[in-house]
Amino acid sequence: MILKVVKYGDPVLEKEGQLVTEFDGKLNELVENMFETMLAEKGVGLAAPQIGQSLKLFVMDCSGGKEPKDRIAFINPIIQETKDTQVGDEGCLSFPDIYFQVERPRIVTVTAFDVNGKEFTMNLEDLAARCVLHETDHLYGKLFTDFLKKLSFLKRDKIKKKIDKKIKYGEWD
Ligand code: NI
């Protein structure tokens, strides 16, 4: 089932999610629906608060549905270590058509649980590392627009105006 993606302005996006405690059929269904929604929206990552569920959980697939091994659910993830830096364009399904450069670590080690409650650790690089960091931020109510302050005034002002305009004209919905 494709779920509705919450857009910027909804308070759920700026709230810390709860830890997932029940690894049951309901969780499995939620995760499956999140994968389906992410694929339909052409995203590479989707966090639970983005579908209105204030939980520490996100799904990722940097292959866009092409590689089954890249289809990963991260439940209660914790970033253990980060290395290097990368700068690249970033977007978010909760901010349609908004993209700007964000500097983040290039390598990340993350520990999380799978849908069966089994703990795992992964080392990820480049786009996958960027995605894990962006989505983990969502679980703490942190949005990528926090990184706007690192841009020049002109760039920041242009993006802020574009966001304000979209909200004013109801283009988010
Ligand atoms: Ni996002």
**The pLDDT of residue 173 is above 90:** no
Q: Is residue 132 part of a domain?
A: yes
The parent domain of residue 24 ranges over 11-168
**The pLDDT of residue 148 is above 80:** yes
Per-residue pLDDT, 172: 83
Per residue in 34-91, pLDDT tens? 999 999 999 999 999 999 999 999 999 999 999 999 999 999 999 999 999 999 999 9
Asked if 119 is an active-site residue, the reply is no
Q: Is residue 140 part of a domain?
A: yes
Task: Please tell me the distance between residue 140's alpha carbon and the centre of ligand 1 in angstroms.
Answer: 12
Q: Is residue 33 part of a domain?
A: yes
Per-residue pLDDT, 168: 87
* Number of domains observed in the structure of the chain: 1
The residue from 16, 22, 29, 135 that is catalytic is 135
Q: Is residue 3 part of a domain?
A: no
Q: Is residue 5 part of a domain?
A: no
The strand ranges marked E within the chain are 45-47, 57-60, 72-83, 86-90, 100-104, 107-113, 119-125
Q: Is residue 120 part of a domain?
A: yes
Task: Please tell me the distance between residue 46's alpha carbon and the centre of ligand 1 in angstroms.
Answer: 7
Task: Please tell me the distance between residue 94's alpha carbon and the centre of ligand 1 in angstroms.
Answer: 6
Per residue in 83-118, pLDDT tens? 999 999 999 999 999 999 999 999 999 999 999 999
Per-residue pLDDT, 171: 82
Q: Is residue 173 part of a domain?
A: no
Per-residue pLDDT, 27: 98
Q: In angstroms, rounded to a whole number, what is the distance separating the alpha carbons of residues 155 and 162? A: 11
Per residue in 151-171, pLDDT tens? 999 999 999 999 999 988 888
pTM: 0.96
Which CATH number characterizes residue 75's domain?
A: 3.90.45.10
Q: Is residue 29 part of a domain?
A: yes
Q: In angstroms, rounded to a whole number, what is the distance separating the alpha carbons of residues 75 and 88? A: 26
Task: Please tell me the distance between residue 51's alpha carbon and the centre of ligand 1 in angstroms.
Answer: 11
Q: In angstroms, rounded to a whole number, what is the distance separating the alpha carbons of residues 135 and 44? A: 10
